[in-house]
Amino acid sequence: MNDKLLALIEREVLGWPGVWKKRDENGPGGVGVTGYRFGKPQIGHVHDDGHADFRFPREVRDELIRSGRAILHPAFPNSRTTASYRIRSVEDVPGAVELFRMNYERAKETAETVAARRAGDRAAVDKETENEE
């Protein structure tokens, strides 16, 4: 995959609040890989050979493959959660970005839910403390 395609993807994905990247020159099979994360969870990664991988809940992954918006993972076609997407030209970039965005939204929603639970737990503790006084 050429650097221009990766730059197009990065321009979009790294513009989302909380997203950062980590480069691994010696990814699986000795192929470099650039991973993108929202906080701790990875929202997807792009291999230097031009394919991106994403993890989704099984039913989402199955629908993406059934609809042609993703393909089976080349090395792990029997994976129940991993879908891949080939990036060969500038026309493929929007499809890859869409898959990154889906995972970004899922990760963001999870983080917001966890934060709300923690805030609720703190509020409950604060209320208990008030009642004890």
DSSP track, 13-75: HTTSTTEEEEEETT-GGG--EEEEEESSSEEEEEETTSEEEEE--HHHHHHHHHTTSSEE-SS
| Residue pLDDT, tens place only, 20-74 | 999 988 766 667 899 999 988 999 999 998 899 999 999 999 999 999 999 999 8
Domain ranges of the chain: 3-132
Architecture of domain 3-132: Alpha-Beta Complex (3.90)
DSSP 92: G
Separation CA 106–CA 126 (nearest Å)? 30
Q: What is the mean pLDDT of residues 79-107?
A: 96
User: Is the pLDDT confidence value at 122 over 80?
Assistant: no
By three-state DSSP, how is residue 89 classified?
coil
Of the pLDDT bands very low, low, confident and very high (cuts 50, 70, 90), residue 119 is: confident
Amino acid at 102: M
